[in-house]
Structure 1
Amino acid sequence: MTQRQNTPAPRNTADVVILGAGPAGLLLANLLHRNGVDCAVLERATRAHVQTRARAGFLAATTVRTLERHGLADGLHRRGHRHGTCEFRTDDGRFRLDYATLGRRDQHTVYPQQDLVTDLLTHYLDAGGRIHFETEALAVPDPHSTRPTVTVRDADGRPDHWQARYVAGCDGRHGAARRSLPPGTVRHHRDHGVSWLGLLAQAPPSLDAVGYALHPHGFAGHMARTPHVTRYYLQYERGTPADTWTEDRIWHELDTRMRTDDHGPLHHGPIAHRTVVDLESDVVQPLRHGSLLLAGDAASLISPSAAKGANLAVLEAELLAHALTDTLAHGDRGALDRYSAQALTHIWRAQDFSLWMIRLLHAEPGQPHGESFFHESLRRSRLASLRTSRTHQDWFAENYVGV
């Protein structure tokens, strides 16, 4: 393993080249750098874009503890806030679950992902870490090589390459790591047939809870982000561009589905950002392919229905950091295979709960009347059990907050 020295490492080599500067890539970089592992991060976007791209904002208790354990939680302790309640609104009325008092009594910390990314990036650069923005990884041509090469396009658009002992693919489902997987790699994929219009509104939260509204028009969701910004979701017809609906129509649908006539008005404000999210899940198995390791969305895509994506990314990054350190520092040849098995155990559990939430929140798309009635009856039964059964509530709380 190459130890950090006063003289800089050659520009285009590193023991570990990390693709992607999201939560997984940046946490991995921080942990490896602290452990004396020579690493470099390659990110195709600009630094400004990385620090402002809006993503999820609900951090699980295990994620917070991980960041605390490594001295990376200062920002979220200053600016994040705890959250432990969700509210369901249906034709049968509404009910609340104070999940912070149920199950393991854990709660979320609301902290926008772009703020977490900024924190991780600042820590990494302040410690002397290497990152190259506007450097797009194109491929890892031979991931089973003992010295794999990453072909890139640099900030000036010129071809270049990096050489490593290991490549950590944290660059998402469409990145170079996924594209470089060898033929025959097992990829489990499921399209849930549901789309959301994701919205960031410049308006204060209207509930002191995460709101889940089940309505004949489709699902609507309310998630606080900051005292002045709220995340909303609207179930949306597949294939419809994000800019099709006017702001007036968006707020009308939110008011209707959230049943504001019965439960109080929403705070309206300008829509600052909108995007269409097709609810899909997929998992690559295994997560190790020779010298190429996957983490974050490159390892598994999970629907946003249960806010697991960023939390899985943090968990996987810590596991991968331990495995790479054990491999490079201690010659533990089985560490990277154990990483794959351990991470997949958590991934499949999160996928299971995410699917449960999808089925709870949405009508079954494209089903004949009889089957649709069957599914709707099951949804009502699940909600009734969640409203009344302490055992069911404890199960929900443990899975809702945990990864």
Structure 2
Amino acid sequence: MTGRQTIPAVTDSADVVILGAGPAGLTLGNLLLAAGIDCVVLERADRRHVQTRARAGFLAAHTVRVLDRHGLSDGLHRRGLPHGTCEFRTDGGRFRLDYGALGLGERHTVYPQQDLVTDLLTHYLAAGGRIRFETEALTVDDAAGVRPTVTVRDPEGRPCRWRARYVAGCDGRHGAARRSLPAAARHQRDHGVSWLGLLAEAPPSLDAVGYALHARGFAGHMARTPEVTRYYLQCERGTAPDAWSEERIWDELGLRMRTADHGPLHRGRIIHRSVIDLQSDVMETLRHGSLLLAGDAASLPAPAAAKGANLAVLEAELLAEALIDDLAHGDPGALDRYSPRCLAHIWRAQEFSHWMIQLLHAPYASDGEALFHESLRRSRVESLRTSRAHQEWFAENYVGI
């Protein structure tokens, strides 16, 4: 039996419909709301999931400045911890970089992303912001038109539509915003590396970010709170998150981080685990008519250099400025400038993330070309250890976006 597809009626509207309640979407929502712009945030997950999903935890100095400018930084100043040191462990020993005293003299603030999202959401709701949880965006239609619509599935599973002047796609690489665009708009790279990402109920074992380069694969140590530490272990592509026992995880971390030489790790219960395939992509352009992209929907940097959440906040501020110029001040040209302004920052962050991946991971193969690349990698590490000019460059790019 065939028949016409029923198109749901438009049930609500806003000048700006924001897809996704992550750092990009909630920062954008707060800035638009403060400027008197009518907006709504549509988020497919429930509120509890939004406020507890563990992601990044290192905020760049520029990100803190953006949040300061807009009165969104109270929580991170109360509970965030300044951080400016990283330690590299190799088969030739270990060395530290006080990157906070190098480059532009900027540090990170360690503040779990779920805490930042909770702060942004609390501020948005207190200011009267509209948000619809458990509302999954399915498509963005007529983005080239004057009044695009977003088809969603509401919490009861019913399809409905939102009409907007503009749609801000902040719903990630698999969200409706990207699905509504041609694949040709994306540049992408698979780095061929996978990590087992872990949250351990254990205090940090180092007062630095730890990068261990080992023949068995990369291992990483990143503080999150005084009671929780983030670890990474390079693993084979296709490894299931629960494939390794806790004992194996701690033994492998100890081996790769060379605890026999540099002291033991504080062990604790593994409270979260996932497998991350290191992939990067960039959408070009970030504006498609009335649909504009920010956050992971705009670009996905591999997590080797902690750029994702920081780019998201930067992009949200730039997008807010452009939308306010258009909607409040009658300057539509600001939206044309949004994409090139963001892409300049995105490609710089992508370049440094790519450099970090090459620094941290040995080639899997053992042929002549792989041995050549491994020798280059060792040379990069030695230059980073001994060259002040290289250290200055590293510091500026490590914190900068």
| Equivalent residue runs for 1:154-233 within 5 Å | 154-181=154-181, 183=182, 185-233=184-232
The equivalent of 1:49 in structure 2 is 49
The equivalent of 2:259 in structure 1 is 260
Deviations 1:224-275 (A, max 9, x none): 0000000000001001111001000000100000000000000000000000
Instruction: Tell me the CA shift for residue 364 of structure 1.
Output: 2.1
Q: 1:185 to 1:397 in 2, by over 3 A?
A: same
- Counterpart Cα distance in 1 of 2:25 and 2:43: 9
- Counterpart Cα distance in 2 of 1:143 and 1:246: 48
Determine whether 1:27 maps to 2:27: yes
Matched pairs, number = 392
Counterpart of 2:257, as a letter, is M
Instruction: Tell me the CA shift for residue 12 of structure 1.
Output: 1.2
SS, match of residue 14 in structure 2? strand
The equivalent of 1:3 in structure 2 is none
The equivalent of 1:344 in structure 2 is 343
Q: 1:327 to 1:185 in 2, by over 3 A?
A: farther
Counterpart of 2:318, as a letter, is L
Deviations 1:25-79 (A, max 9, x none): 0000000000010000000000010000000000000000110111100000000
Counterpart of 2:118, as a letter, is T
Instruction: Tell me the CA shift for residue 143 of structure 1.
Output: 1.1
- Counterpart Cα distance in 1 of 2:198 and 2:366: 31
The equivalent of 2:314 in structure 1 is 315
Counterpart of 1:153, as a letter, is R
Deviations 1:298-326 (A, max 9, x none): 00011000000000000000000000000
SS, match of residue 355 in structure 2? helix
- Counterpart Cα distance in 2 of 1:286 and 1:159: 29
* Structure 2: stretches of 5+ with no match in the other structure: 1-9
SS, match of residue 271 in structure 1? strand
Deviations 1:361-392 (A, max 9, x none): 00123x45211211111111111111111110
The equivalent of 1:143 in structure 2 is 143
SS, match of residue 161 in structure 2? strand
SS, match of residue 120 in structure 1? helix
SS, match of residue 140 in structure 1? strand
The equivalent of 1:240 in structure 2 is 239
Counterpart of 2:22, as a letter, is G
Deviations 1:207-230 (A, max 9, x none): 000000000100000000000000
Deviations 1:160-197 (A, max 9, x none): 1100000000000000000011x364210100000000
- Counterpart Cα distance in 2 of 1:184 and 1:111: 34
RMSD: 1.0
Q: 1:205 to 1:247 in 2, by over 3 A?
A: same
Counterpart of 1:383, as a letter, is V
What stretches of structure 1 move > 4 A for 4+ residues in a row?
none
Counterpart of 2:386, as a letter, is T
Give me the TM-score of the superposition, normalised by structure 2. Answer: 0.97
Counterpart of 1:394, as a letter, is E
Q: How much identity, in percent, do the aligned residues show? A: 77
Counterpart of 1:30, as a letter, is N
SS, match of residue 141 in structure 2? coil
Counterpart of 1:148, as a letter, is P
Instruction: Tell me the CA shift for residue 11 of structure 1.
Output: 6.8
SS, match of residue 293 in structure 1? strand
Q: 1:176 to 1:184 in 2, by over 3 A?
A: closer
| Greater Cα shift, 105-114 or 141-150 | 141-150
Instruction: Tell me the CA shift for residue 114 of structure 1.
Output: 0.2
Aligned to 2:381, which of 380, 383, 387?
Answer: 383
Instruction: Tell me the CA shift for residue 93 of structure 1.
Output: 0.2
Counterpart of 1:32, as a letter, is L
The equivalent of 1:75 in structure 2 is 75
CA contact (8 A) 2:220 2:233 kept: yes
The equivalent of 2:293 in structure 1 is 294
Determine whether 1:16 maps to 2:16: yes
- Counterpart Cα distance in 1 of 2:288 and 2:11: 25
SS, match of residue 51 in structure 1? helix
Determine whether 1:324 maps to 2:326: no
